[in-house]
Structure 1
Amino acid sequence: MKECTKVERLTCIVDEDRTHNGEPLYRAIVNAAQENGIGGATVTRGIMGFGAGKRIHRDRPLGRNSDLPIVIRIVDEKDKLDVFSKDLCEMVEQGIILREPVHMCLVRCGGETIKE
């Protein structure tokens, strides 16, 4: 079964070493999204990148803190992301936040959708 709908994707890019209230910022963002009933979130770790400051971000040897780019992708209805974006903007002191409309198709192959 395939269900398709128009939603929005919120993409947030932050440095790996950023924190919020003592925990990694990316973890705080995902936890806040879940607490706000957002449909889904995924975090990926970049291997290299640069931003507005034109400084290359890459893995640092010898156990020093890493400032690799972390990409958090969140998908839900526009209205829910409008509300969540206010909290997100307070959490992210430095980074990039993008929003864009997307066409999402949820594919279920046999059986029911598993709910956690």
Structure 2
Amino acid sequence: MRGIEGEQVLVRIYLGESRKVHHKPLHRRLLELLRREGLAGATILKGCVGFGHDRTIHTTGVECLAQDLPVVIETVDTPEHVDTLLAKIDALMIGGLVTTERAHVIRYEGGAR
């Protein structure tokens, strides 16, 4: 895995877990893209409640039977790598939101202290 430190770019991708591309969840397709493109790492966070531009609340509550819960994918990498990646993300997105922001990365290696 590539190690990155210092000033980098944090990318967050917000979408609903029911979104699919070619019968496969969009969040999985995006994770595969990030891995294939050699990003330093990525995490998918599944939300328990949220709402988007349509103002509909999506929840894990029984009354809604957990429909279309929010999903956030986070990744951090170099500005250059993120710039080339955004067009590839754009080609897959079917609804959702992508944000970018500067992030200062402090990396800790594993091992005994």
TM-score where L is the length of structure 2: 0.87
Structure 2 stretches lacking a partner, 5+ long: none
8 Å Cα contact 2:43/2:74 also seen in 1: yes
Following superposition, the deviation at residue 108 of structure 1 comes to: 1.5
Count residues in correspondence.
109
The verdict on how the C-alpha distance between 1:4 and 1:38 changes in structure 2, with shifts beyond 3 A counting, is: closer
**Aligned position for 1:66:** 67
CA RMSD of aligned residues (A): 2.1
The verdict on how the C-alpha distance between 1:110 and 1:26 changes in structure 2, with shifts beyond 3 A counting, is: same
When you count strand as a share of all residues, which structure comes out higher? 1
Is 1:81 the counterpart of 2:82? The answer is yes
Identity of aligned residues (%): 25
8 Å Cα contact 2:16/2:96 also seen in 1: yes
8 Å Cα contact 2:10/2:103 also seen in 1: yes
- For the residue of structure 1 that corresponds to 2:107, the secondary structure is strand
Give the whole-Å Cα distance in 1 for the aligned partners of 2:86 and 2:5.
Answer: 24
**Aligned position for 2:99:** 98
Structure 1 stretches lacking a partner, 5+ long: 112-116
Matched ranges for 1:32-47 at <5 A: 32-47=33-48
The verdict on how the C-alpha distance between 1:110 and 1:59 changes in structure 2, with shifts beyond 3 A counting, is: closer
The verdict on how the C-alpha distance between 1:110 and 1:81 changes in structure 2, with shifts beyond 3 A counting, is: same
8 Å Cα contact 1:10/1:75 also seen in 2: yes
One-letter amino acid of the counterpart of residue 5, structure 1: G
TM-score where L is the length of structure 1: 0.85
One-letter amino acid of the counterpart of residue 71, structure 2: I
Give the whole-Å Cα distance in 1 for the aligned partners of 2:110 and 2:26.
Answer: 35
Give the ranges of 4+ consecutive aligned residues of structure 1 lying more than 2 Å apart after TM superposition.
59-62
Give the whole-Å Cα distance in 2 for the aligned partners of 1:87 and 1:21.
Answer: 16
